[in-house]
Amino acid sequence: MSARTKARKRALNVLFSADVRGDELAVALQAEAGRAASEPERQASWLYARDIVDGVIDHADEIDEQIESHSRDWRLERMPAVDRALLRMATWELLFNEEVPAAVAIDEAVELAKELSTEESGSFVHGVLARIARSS
């Protein structure tokens, strides 16, 4: 598993846990930074995970607007929390990280959705992200 794939999983954990617990994302990120400091062997994955979460924090309104406008009548509150977190993470990569090809951001999110969410989540996440990628 690549360092970026590990980083995406780490970022997903932060985004998901903050959402489910109702915590501020910045607070959840700070707590994860404390854990990361005690795990130097995972430093490579932490750096990109932090970039993702910081990016989602910095562009939260625009990211959520893109997701809602491309999700075909699905409001964010109705989506499973895992899907919401995956969509936020991948939308940041699509719109704000020029280093990641759109196909990679979409594929990674779809694979995580298939692994961690509902049976329909993979195709749902793929559809929303593909529409966002086409519109940007």
pLDDT one-digit tens code per residue, 18-59:
999 999 999 999 998 888 888 777 777 889 999 999 999 999
The letter for the amino acid at 68 is: E
What Rg do the C-alpha atoms of the chain give, in angstroms?
14
Q: Which CATH architecture has domain 3-135?
A: Orthogonal Bundle (1.10)
Residue 61 CB partners (closer than 8 Å, separation 6+): none
pLDDT one-digit tens code per residue, 74-85:
899 999 999 999
First-to-last C-alpha distance (Å) of the chain: 29
Among residues of the chain, what percentage have pLDDT more than 70? Answer: 100
Position 45 scores a pLDDT of 81
Q: Tally the C-alpha atoms within 13 A of residue 133's C-alpha that lie toward its C-beta.
A: 20
